[in-house]
Amino acid sequence: MFKKLFPALTAMMSIALLSIAYLAPAHAEDDVRIALVVKAMGIGFFEAANEGAQEAAEELGNVEIIYTGPTTTTAEGQIEVISSLIAQRVDAIAVSANDQDALVPILSRAQQRGIKVISWDSGVAPEGRSVHLSPSSDDLIGRMNVQLAADALEAKGVSSGQMAILSATPTSTNQNVWIEEMKKVLPEFPQLEFVDTVYGDDLADKSYREAVALMRNHPDLDVIVAPTTVGILAAAQAVSDEGRVGEVYVTGLGLPSELAGHVESGAMHNFAIWNPVDLGYAATTIAYNLVMDNATETSVDMGRMGTAQLDENGSAAMAEPFIYDATNVQDFADIF
């Protein structure tokens, strides 16, 4: 009887030991494998964030960064990427989500397998992650975008005018929250008449076409606000190509390296952004500290970026956005 049971018991013990090894957190002497999952590959903002992630990895000393994402900004693409990462048994996944709800099932599966999950930049619903790191506070970002539009009217020399929004995808978590916050504060800016919201899906060609359509559908349009690095660049190019420089201003969130020329041309008066290098650095450091069990329910260390103070939903803000204009954009263009 014992001889018959022994192989079965041995197999059961082997499976149990493998499961324990699979779920056990990484130790200091092990390489901690952190996947930085972006909305789509080939976007400058996320490439800069990866630079910050690599900086954090070098500083921490025992971290391997897997920089990955789909080819297009879809939840389906990210789900496929995350499924592969689960199979690779990474220690942590840090994702900028294309859809806050659609990723919850696959990320919940990752957490069940012992993988630490955070979202950054664009959030995941709390059920699908432990921590969310916003680049800044949502209300401040919304207010700043409206203030930038008001600044554009002032630069144009008019007392009132029309404003439209060029966003990323209709399901993009951060974009939708920021647009909601923008609409909340619009009554405080009676000089701005809000006329339309369109979506470029964070694709350069579609964002360009949507910007052109905005100008043609609203002949008296004064400002296009694009809280997306892909959209703001495409809109500025569309304004230039349509010969509307000085008539339609573009503003929102973008990268100095991509927008310096458009500020110089007059297509843009000013714009804002946080440092994506800092964001990638902070997200990586948070993920590492979660893996190493170096966090509390209310705070987690972000290295040189300080301490992330977590609210009841596990969310934190990194820093305030910074405004760029003709006086400083060239200074930062060589950095990111």
Average pLDDT over residues 151-177: 96
Please write the tens of the pLDDT for every residue from 59-104: 999 999 999 999 999 999 999 999 999 999 999 999 999 999 999 9
How large a percentage of the chain has pLDDT more than 70? 91
Domain with CATH 3.40.50.2300 in the chain: 22-136+276-318, 138-273
How large a percentage of the chain has pLDDT more than 90? 90
Average pLDDT over residues 122-137: 97
Q: What pLDDT, on a 0 to 100 scale, did the predictor assign at position 203?
A: 96
The rounded mean pLDDT for the chain is: 92
Model's pTM, two decimal places?
Answer: 0.84
Q: What pLDDT, on a 0 to 100 scale, did the predictor assign at position 335?
A: 83
Please write the tens of the pLDDT for every residue from 317-328: 998 899 999 999
Please write the tens of the pLDDT for every residue from 255-271: 999 999 999 999 999 99
CATH code 3.40.50.2300 for 22-136+276-318: yes
Average pLDDT over residues 127-149: 97
Q: What pLDDT, on a 0 to 100 scale, did the predictor assign at position 303?
A: 97
Confidence category of residue 11, pLDDT binned at 50, 70, 90? very low
Q: What pLDDT, on a 0 to 100 scale, did the predictor assign at position 30?
A: 77
Nearest alpha-carbon partner for 91 in 277, 293, 280:
293
The 3 state secondary structure assigned to the chain is: CHHHHHHHHHHHHHHHHHHHHHHCCCCCCCCEEEEEECCCCCCHHHHHHHHHHHHHHHHHCCEEEEEECCCCCCHHHHHHHHHHHHHHCCCEEEECCCCCCCCHHHHHHHHHCCCEEEEECCCCCHHHCCEEEECCCHHHHHHHHHHHHHHHHHHHCCCCEEEEEEECCCCCHHHHHHHHHHHHHHHHCCCEEEEEEEECCCCHHHHHHHHHHHHHHCCCEEEEEECCHHHHHHHHHHHHHCCCCCCCEEEEECCHHHHHHHHHHCCECEEEECCHHHHHHHHHHHHHHHHCCCECCCEEECHHHCEEECCCCCEEECCCCEEEECCCHHHHHCCC
Exposure of 228 in the CB half-sphere (CA atoms within 13 A): 32
Topology of domain 138-273, per CATH? Rossmann fold (3.40.50)
